[in-house]
Structures are given as C-alpha cells and as structure tokens.
Amino acid sequence: MIKDLSILMLSAAAIVGAVRFLLIPGIGKIGVALKFSAKVRGQMIGYATSVPELTVLVAGALAGVFNAGLWNIAASNIINWVLFLVTVFAFRQQLDLKNKGFVDEIVFGILSVVIPLLMFAAHIGTGYGTIIGLLGFFVIYKVLDKRFNPTGRPAPIPPGLEDGTFLGGAFFLVLGILVILFSGKFLGGSAGALVMQLNVPAWAVGWILGLVTSVCELAAFIEIYRIHKPKDSPTHIKDTQEALDALVASNISNLGLILPIGMLVYLWVS
C-alpha cells in the first residue's frame, strides 16, 4: 500500500510539473506565434488537460472494467467545477462570472455535469447509440460556441514567452502531453491498486480517479490566473475567460469525446 501511495503522489506531482513547465508554456508559445485569443488558448489548455482522463478511461476499457471509468468522467466534471470555483474565489475574481458574455460557457459547463448524472439515473448503458449521441453533443457545443463567441483579440502574452515560436511551443506541448500520459498511467494504476486493496466499489473508484485526474485542471486554473497578473485594468476578465474556457473544454471533451472513445474500446474488447 505504501508503494502504491508513493507512486500516486509522485505521478500527481509529475503531472502538476508538466502542466506548469511544459503544457501551458507550450500552448503559450503557440498562442504567441498564432496570435490566439484568451478563449482559444483556454480551450487548448482544456483539451490538453483531459489527457489523464483519456488514459484512465481507455485503460479501464481495455481491462474490461468500464463502470469505474464512467463514474470517473462524471466525477471529474463535477470536481473540475469545484476546483475552478475554488480558484476563482482564491484569486478574488468571482464577480467576473456575472459577465453576460459567459452565459453560454456556463450553461454548457453545467450540462457537462447534468448529462452524465442523467445517464446514470436513466440507466443509459454503453452502446453505439450512446456514442453517437455524445459525439453529437460535442459537435453542437463547437457549432454554438463558434456562433456565439467571436475569436477576439490576441490574449496577453505570458511573461517570458514574448519570443515564442510555433515549433518551440509544439515541442513543449508534445513533451508535456507525453509526461502526462506516462504519469497518468501510473496515477490510474496506483489509485486502482489502492482501491482494490481496500475493496472499494466501482462508483467510489470512479470518484477517486476523478479526483486524482483533476490535478491537471487545478494546476492549469492556478497557472492561468498567475500569468495574467497583474491585471491591465479592473475590468480585465481575460483570466477568467481563459480559465472558464479551459474548464468547459475539458468537461465537454471528457463527456463528448473521451467517454465515447472509452465506450468504443470497451465494446470492441468485451
């Protein structure tokens, strides 16, 4: 048990380090080169921080155990919301959430929590119809997001990334994702071993895995607010814009992309 606990803690620390020193700087460099808005940069961060959930879910599907993976997505999306709100309040930016421009992101963020809970309540199982429905939800999100939210102006350049290049950013991004994938494998394995030793039910396994895989998102939220300090003006909301889009993109990709992929793998191997 001590060995598994040590591996879990080291894996979580590696993920935080990868987000802080590789993932976000890599996306920042790419953003500087391509002049990304805060929204686009936040969405890229959200998709990238969903890699641990993808690793854990596919690993569970290949092992023929999918209930814990399904709970992992539901738990991750709920925990991501909690961690986002904790970060917003910690940086005293809660008033930003009253901005009318955030309504559609907040609605989709809420749906990303409500839909998996409704799936459990309605006993919607793994099937090709479910896969198509979830993928369709992701497409609807992308279409409406593009319609309601213009790209906007380039986001503030993170400190130290003024001379960022696309190739340099891509190197950091790919390396960060590889570290997260590698660490996520050990993170999920050690968490799974611990709960097996303690004879924890599948739903509890999902919640535990949801908590540990959300380390990535927490690190991203904190880093986003850090790189936006000091603010240009009291009305500057680009930090919350970026963090909110990272949250929603992560949750929607968990539900509309990663869950269908896990279901597909499970159907193929079961």
Give tens-digit pLDDT for 171-200. Answer: 988 998 888 778 767 766 666 666 667 676
Those residues whose C-beta lies under 8 Å from the C-beta of residue 117, and which sit 6 or more positions away, are 74
118 or 189: which leads in pLDDT: 118
**Listed residue (189, 177, 170) closest to 216, CA to CA:** 177
Report how far residue 4's alpha carbon sits from residue 72's, in angstroms, rounded to the nearest whole number: 19
Residue showing tokens 């390396």: 175
Q: Please, is 188 exposed, middle or buried when counting C-beta atoms within 10 Å of its C-beta (0-12, 13-18, 19+)?
A: buried
**230 preceded by cis ω (within 30°)?**
yes
pLDDT tens digits along 212-252: 778 778 888 888 888 776 665 555 678 888 899 999 999 99
Both structure tokens of 105: 């992101």
- Tell me if residue 154 falls in helix, strand or coil: strand
Asked if 227 and 28 count as a contact pair (C-beta separation under 8 A), the reply is yes
Both structure tokens of 160: 């130290």
**pTM of this prediction exceeds 0.75:** yes
Both structure tokens of 85: 């709100």
**Listed residue (110, 109, 118) closest to 70, CA to CA:** 118
First vs last C-alpha separation in the chain: 30
Of the segments 56-60, 101-105, 135-139, which one has the largest average pLDDT value? 135-139
Asked if 146 and 14 count as a contact pair (C-beta separation under 8 A), the reply is no
Report how far residue 50's alpha carbon sits from residue 72's, in angstroms, rounded to the nearest whole number: 12
- DSSP at 229: P
Asked if 83 and 221 count as a contact pair (C-beta separation under 8 A), the reply is yes
Reported confidence tier of residue 113, pLDDT bands at 50, 70, 90? very high
Average pLDDT of span 159-171: 75
Q: Please, is 95 exposed, middle or buried when counting C-beta atoms within 10 Å of its C-beta (0-12, 13-18, 19+)?
A: exposed
